[in-house]
Structure 1
Amino acid sequence: MGMRPVHLLWAIAITAVWGFNFVVIKAGLGSFPPLLLTALRFAFAALPALVLERPAVPWRHMILTGLALFVGQYVLLFVAMSHGMPPGLASITLQIQACFTMLLAILVLGERPQPRQIAGAAVALAGLAAIGSTVGGDVSTLGLGLTILSALSWAAGNLLLKRMPKPADGRPVKMLNLIVWLSLVPIAPTLALSLGFEGPERIAAALTHAGWLGFGALFYIVVFSTLLGFGVWGRLLSLYAASTVVPFSLLVPIFGAVSAALVFHESFGPGRLAGMALIMSGLAISSLPIGRLRAKRQAA
């Protein structure tokens, strides 16, 4: 089933919003320390929980998912980007989470991947190794390592989402409601981390001197990237099969790299370009329904 033109535009627009989000995060980190920015993001993203119904999911599972999907992923990513990980490169390196998700599914759930998924993962991991060989200059070992750990935490969150218990009433969980209520989980731990590592004085100084750029970045991250982004994405998933919607996520790192080059003049040498191309190729091999498309053509 093909997408209606308006929904196709939605899908492309949201991937552009998510890709540009890496540039916005970089701008926000110029005003807020990374742990505080993480805490503020989820504190404001959780406000709609005052009016949105809580998903009928056990709190234990909600907490575990929130810790992996939000605390682990975004604390590590924001700290990585504040310690030598450029936004464009981060947007592509983070997509290695797809390979980690497959690996965890094999180890934890006993799933058996298709040959093309294994091949795609191998290509993507080769791309990650190529990027790792370019560490130095504007890319630090710490920044790259934390981004990889962020991708691993994202993968663990994906697995918890997949294993999330079905509501007793049989109704599907609304994506926006789930994201908003999961946003409650990171507030306390990230604020505690910010107080412990960044300190009250640095927090107060950031809140006082952030200015329009800092608060504008926070607004974009909360409203456009989190609430609007996941709300529209969830709507698309409710209208179409995941195999129709999910491949559009391949556009996110492309938008991320292009916008970083345009806004921050981020440059990519031959080694990084090769690594980025391998990661994108691996993801395409793993996620695009190549076999089904070929079968449809033969049937026609």
Structure 2
Amino acid sequence: MRTKILILCCLIGILFSCSTKSEQHSESRNEVNTSTDNENQVAEMVMAPAPSDSKSGEYRLETNAKATAQQTAVDKQKIIKDGNITVKSNNISNSKKGIDNLLKKLNAYYESEDLQNNEQSISYTLKIRIPAVNFEKLITNLENGEDEIESKNIQARDVTEEYVDIETRLITKRQYLQRYKQILAKAATVKDILAIEENIRNLEEEIDSQQGRLKYLADQVAFSTLNISLYKNKEYIEQPKSGFLTRTKMAINQGWQSIVDFMLWAISIWPYLIIISVLYLIIKRIIRTRRIKKANN
């Protein structure tokens, strides 16, 4: 009887021990799972929206941005027009006034204006900015004018592809910037905050740079540039030859002027003449004294 009781007690103890270990193992596993879930939530909050870790999201952003930019490009191509024209004028004053009136009519303006006037010619170097829609009108008016067109060079550059590319990048970067700001509001640690703020700063710098380039291209597209070289050669006037009496008079004047120049030069060096004279007298006296001594000896 005692033996049965002892065996029963041993079995109960073994079962209780196994049950306790199982409960402890289950609690430990639940704690580990809870800790892991918390860590994953933090990692997902900081890293999931980042461009480098979400290729599918990046692809969707770039695809949508590119589609929007391409639709804009289809509506209107981006063409930059500029040129150089050399114009020979018979009356440069009238030609310049004509260009001034033409610019007012076509809503254009001078970006720079340079005038050169010398013995051979008088010339204007003009840099004109004009609305692209009036660029051809300006050239046509110059060609149909009274002045002679000596040379003309017109260029047209299609920057639509570059414009679309910059617009696409701007749309994508603005979307990334918005996502980073949302992440920043949820960041929990100082390390995460500093890392996200650095990414935001870099994105803002890139956006500012690309906005500047886009603004420059838009200005070049909206306003064309035309460089005009307007000039007139002056008439050569031959000087009449001088007669004998005139040349004789000029020779006398030149001779007299030479004498005056020499006298003025001599007056200007009088201190040196005095010094040289004093040195000469001193040296002469020393030589005479030595000769007297030799004669006495």
Normalising to structure 1: TM-score of the pair? 0.22
Larger RCO (CA within 8 A; separation ≥ 6): 1
The structure carrying a bigger strand percent of its residues is 2
Larger Rg: 2
Normalising to structure 2: TM-score of the pair? 0.22
